[in-house]
């Protein structure tokens, strides 16, 4: 059966793409952020995942306000970047793992999670930049399966629902008859708000509590409603739902191998966590 070898949660911010393009990794502003990924590079070189299941939120690129699935999954042979942000240079297309995509579609539907299946899908900074942070040479030694969670247009799925989605995805991966090594990646967060009176809002205390909870008490954040989470993490901080789904997929308990937390990157409190399922 397929094995889940680990999970990584990381922020995504379009300005990261510009910093990569301009080679600013050692610039004083960016260094504390980019240095955080080094332990992850070492881990990836050892762990050698074959496939990455990516929980991310589309930002109006693939889905727009006229058609907004709560949950969607890619079943495409490949996924190309189509993000307009900062004029990011094109990155190589990502190869899809269609066998795993369809196994997930079938298993999740059976488990009463009816995802919108997308046989064509373009991806934005929330997908491409975390991949570029993990594999800076951008050769993508993995296949991918994208899973989108709506955090753009209300109503949004509850934290409890995203936790259960993650659990169902984890069960589905572990039931796949394959010897493939699967990693789960969640992108977005941590606290940030880009618009309105509270633009620039960041909540370090909440972020650190949330990161701790993923290890010690993973359903802690499911006690909060979406509106309470907006208050605590900011409107776009709701992207923490991807982190929660990723944690759900990892099973009962996890070991924390690495974390980084740095304020600010653009308007965002940036976070990174590397988790391994405990046997
Ligand atoms: C920023 C953060 C995001 O999550 C995003 O999707 C776009 C921009 C920012 O902080 O600039
Ligand atoms: Fe975002």
What domains does the chain contain, in order, with CATH numbers? Answer: 3-277 (3.40.830.10)
Q: Which two tokens stand for residue 239?
A: 């992207």
3-state secondary structure (DSSP) of residue 279: coil
Q: Which atom of ligand 1 is nearest to the CA of 188?
A: 4
Distance (Å, rounded) from C-alpha 275 to C-alpha 279?
Answer: 13
How many Å is the Cα radius of gyration of the chain? 17
Q: Which of helix, strand or coil describes residue 226?
A: helix
Active site residue 258: no
ipTM reported for the complex, 2 dp: 0.98
Q: Whose CA is nearest to atom 5 of ligand 1?
A: 13
Residues 162 and 105 sit within 8 Å (Cβ to Cβ)? no
Which residue has a Cα nearest atom 4 of ligand 1?
13
Which residue shows structure tokens 């490949």?
78
Pocket of ligand 1 (CB under 6 A): 12-15, 59, 188, 192, 194, 236, 239, 266-268
| Strand-by-strand arrangement of the 254-265 sheet | 116-118, 71-74, 143-149, 51-56, 181-187, 3-10, 268-277, 254-265
Choose which residue among 130, 268, 271 to substitute to test ligand 1 binding: the one with the highest number of ligand atoms within 8 A of its C-beta: 268
Q: Cα(109) to centroid of ligand 2, in Å? A: 27
Output the pLDDT for position 89. 64
- Report the pLDDT value the prediction gives residue 206, as an integer from 0 to 100: 98
Catalytic residue among 125, 227, 258, 262: 125
- For residue 268, report the distance from its CA to the centre of ligand 1, in Å: 7
Q: What is the pTM of this model?
A: 0.98
Residue 119 has a pLDDT of: 98
Nearest 5°: the CA angle 207, 210, 216 is 145
Nearest CA to ligand 1 atom 2: 13
Nearest CA to ligand 1 atom 6: 13
Average pLDDT for runs of 10 along the chain of length 279: 98 94 96 98 98 98 96 98 75 96 98 98 96 97 98 97 98 97 98 97 98 98 98 98 98 98 98 96
> What's the rounded Cα separation, in Å, for the pair 82 and 94?
12
Q: What share of the chain is helix, strand, coil (3-state, %, to 5)?
A: 40, 25, 35
pLDDT the model gives residue 90: 77
- Atom of ligand 1 at shortest range from CA of 189: 4
Residue-wise burial string across 213-243, b where 16 or more C-beta atoms lie within 10 A, e elsewhere: bbeeebeebbebebeebbbbbbbbbbbbbbb
CA of 150 to the centre of ligand 2 (A): 11
Is 192 one of the annotated active-site residues of the chain? yes
What is the structure's pLDDT at 87?
A: 66
């Amino acid at each position: 059966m397929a094995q889940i070898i680990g999970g990584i949660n990381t922020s995504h911010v379009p300005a990261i793409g510009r910093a990569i393009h301009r080679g600013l990794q050692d610039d004083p502003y960016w260094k504390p952020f980019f240095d955080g990924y080094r332990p992850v590079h070492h881990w990836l070189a050892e762990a050698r995942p074959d496939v990455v299941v990516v929980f991310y939120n589309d930002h109006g690129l693939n889905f727009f306000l006229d058609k907004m699935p709560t949950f969607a999954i890619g079943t495409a042979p490949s996924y190309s970047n189509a993000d307009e942000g900062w004029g990011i240079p094109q990155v190589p297309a990502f190869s899809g793992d269609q066998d795993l995509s369809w196994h997930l579609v079938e298993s999740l539907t059976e488990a009463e999670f009816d995802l919108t299946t997308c046989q064509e899908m373009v991806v934005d900074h929330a997908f491409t930049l975390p991949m570029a942070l993990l594999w800076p040479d951008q050769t993508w030694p993995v296949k991918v399966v994208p899973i989108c969670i709506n955090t753009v247009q209300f109503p949004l799925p509850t934290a409890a629902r995203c936790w259960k989605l993650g659990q169902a995805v984890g069960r589905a991966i572990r039931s796949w008859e394959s010897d493939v090594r699967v990693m789960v990646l969640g992108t977005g967060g941590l606290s940030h708000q880009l618009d309105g009176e509270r633009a620039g809002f960041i909540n370090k205390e909440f972020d650190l509590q949330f990161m701790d909870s993923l290890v010690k008490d993973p359903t802690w954040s499911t006690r909060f409603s979406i509106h309470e989470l907006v208050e605590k993490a900011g409107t776009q901080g709701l992207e923490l739902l991807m982190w929660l789904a990723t944690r759900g997929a990892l099973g009962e308990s996890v070991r924390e191998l690495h974390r980084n937390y740095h304020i600010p990157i653009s308007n965002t409190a940036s976070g990174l966590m590397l988790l391994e399922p405990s046997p």
